[in-house]
Structure 1
Amino acid sequence: MSELNGSDGWVRRFHPAPRAAARLICFPHAGGASTYFFPVSRTLSPGIEVLAIQYPGRQDRRTEPLIDDLHVLADVLAPVVRPWCDGPPVYLYGHSMGATLAFEVGVRLTQEGAAPRALVVSGRRAPSTFRDERVHLLSDDDFIRDLDRLSGTDPRLFQDPQVVEMILPALRNDYRAAETYRYRPGPRLDCPVVALIGDEDAQVTVEEARVWSEHTTGRFDLGVYRGGHFFINDHAADVMRVIREVAAGRTPALPGQAIALRG
């Protein structure tokens, strides 16, 4: 059973593990919810306790105001996450938009003297890379077609007008947040960063992912998997292995065009 913890239900603790050797805080993708990480929590517990962030405007927080600025969202989340950094070593993980948000929260935690032990990101280019994307401005039909292209949402959901009316505002809000995000130059992280991408993901190239190395003074590793934007669904077992290796302080074995750099 899930436990609601943190300020106003921001943090979900599906499988409490008070004796865990490490704690993983997970940040969902655009339109995503904390429940996306329920299988991750179940798999990694009890060795690694998983905390999943629940953004406002979805599921049980559906009536709460949406936040369409990742800097504002990181400002809100950092003090929520901070108390969880006083226990076992904390690691951050985010997919797509969640990767950028995890980075921004990690920067704030580092500035407060509570730096994460490592940051694992997937399906996202480095914060300082830029693309002029405006998907959030598309009509509903075109917006849905773009979502379908990424294969991250069950297409059957979009056949029900009531479901569309319920989930589209959060999706469009998160796309706006991700597409209008602009990196603000500042201190780098001082922990290892591991970036995972799919070789068919139109949202991030190897070159864009490699730039993550410029955002840390620590070690950087890049792994390239077969698949698109949600390659993590097809390679879940291997992604869990990578997280376990990172949490154990080991250099993860990565597939494809694995690249290791020092920041």
Structure 2
Amino acid sequence: MSLGTDPVAPVAADRWFRRYARTPTPRRRLLVLPHAGGSASFYHAWGTAFDDDTEVLVARYPGRHDRLTDPCVDRMEDLTERVTDALLPFLDVPVTLFGHSMGASLAYEVALRLTRRHKVSAAALHVSSRKPPHRLTPRRLHEAGDEALIEEVRRLGGTDESLLSDPDLREIVLPAIRADFTIVGTYGPRAADPVDCPVYAYVGDQDPSITVHDMSGWADVAPRGFRLDVLGGGHFYLTERQDSLTRTMARRMSETDRMG
């Protein structure tokens, strides 16, 4: 891993990605798709976790942070279309997709859309802490009251507690959280359509919602290869295991380069 200066992190002109680039001519890109209730800032440290040849793009969902005034998106189909369209200018080099929790479903749908609509295959699909599309059992939490929704976010983790405990801040973030949980609650189950790239799955060994068996089902959509890694931790194992996870991902991106 390079120990160069911190990367520049400008906001993409199309407003959809925060970019972390150490060189104007990267060899590859990694698109990170956050979890329900998550934001690009949660993955800020990933901008310096990879080598100089890797540009990191982190999706900036509307309705939060510097997109606070942008209308939230509450349908997976709409979010997939907008993220994919925003990604098109970045396909001049191989793109690897990583999604955590809700982001894993989104990454899967983006991979399918790239192939079907644009005849482009992702270099690889990395999915974390989320059942595959054909094993999903959606919950209707988005129809519950605010307190029930907040308690679920607290149970899973991954959202700044100060945003949830302060009444004024909570009022600001609740629309985006509810929109994300509407996506989660209305997506799937659906057919196990295969993706045209290797699939790597990750899960915490103490995740209260997702089991190793659940994650193994991603093999059903991975005719080009599948690997499952179990890491120590809960639903947000990736906070404690960030170094291990990003090192593994970096190695796999390099291996994909050689295979390509």
Distance 1:26 1:107, change over 3 A: same
What is the one-letter code of the residue matched to 1:92? L
Q: Does 1:163 align with 2:169?
A: yes
Q: Unaligned 5+ residue runs, structure 1?
A: 251-263
Distance (Å, rounded) in 2 between the aligned partners of 1:226 and 1:137: 32
Identify the residue that residue 12 of structure 2 maps to in structure 1: 5
Q: CA deviation at 1:184?
A: 4.3
Distance (Å, rounded) in 2 between the aligned partners of 1:184 and 1:6: 34
Q: CA deviation at 1:155?
A: 2.5
Q: Does 1:138 align with 2:174?
A: no
Aligned residue among 111, 114, 132 for 1:109: 114
Q: CA deviation at 1:125?
A: 1.0
Distance (Å, rounded) in 2 between the aligned partners of 1:137 and 1:77: 25
Partner SS for 1:248: helix
Number of equivalences:
248
Preserved CA contact (<8 Å) 1:82 1:114? no
Preserved CA contact (<8 Å) 1:5 1:12? yes
Distance 1:60 1:156, change over 3 A: closer
Identify the residue that residue 88 of structure 2 maps to in structure 1: 82
What is the one-letter code of the residue matched to 2:115? T
Distance (Å, rounded) in 1 between the aligned partners of 2:62 and 2:128: 22
Identify the residue that residue 247 of structure 1 maps to in structure 2: 253
Identify the residue that residue 96 of structure 1 maps to in structure 2: 101
TM-score, normalised relative to structure 1:
0.89
Percent identity reads 35
Distance (Å, rounded) in 2 between the aligned partners of 1:74 and 1:57: 16
Q: CA deviation at 1:92?
A: 0.6
| Larger deviation, residues 191-200 vs 124-133 | 124-133
What is the one-letter code of the residue matched to 1:229? H
Q: CA deviation at 1:46?
A: 1.6
TM-score, normalised relative to structure 2:
0.90
Identify the residue that residue 4 of structure 2 maps to in structure 1: none
What is the one-letter code of the residue matched to 2:107? A
Identify the residue that residue 214 of structure 1 maps to in structure 2: 220
Distance 1:187 1:120, change over 3 A: same
Preserved CA contact (<8 Å) 1:69 1:177? yes
Provide the aligned C-alpha RMSD in A: 1.7
Distance 1:92 1:223, change over 3 A: same
Q: CA deviation at 1:80?
A: 1.3
Identify the residue that residue 203 of structure 1 maps to in structure 2: 209
Q: CA deviation at 1:37?
A: 2.0
Q: CA deviation at 1:204?
A: 1.3
Q: Deviations over 1:62-97 (max 9, x none)?
A: 1111111111211222121122111x2210111110
Q: CA deviation at 1:20?
A: 2.6
Distance (Å, rounded) in 2 between the aligned partners of 1:113 and 1:237: 33
What is the one-letter code of the residue matched to 2:82? V
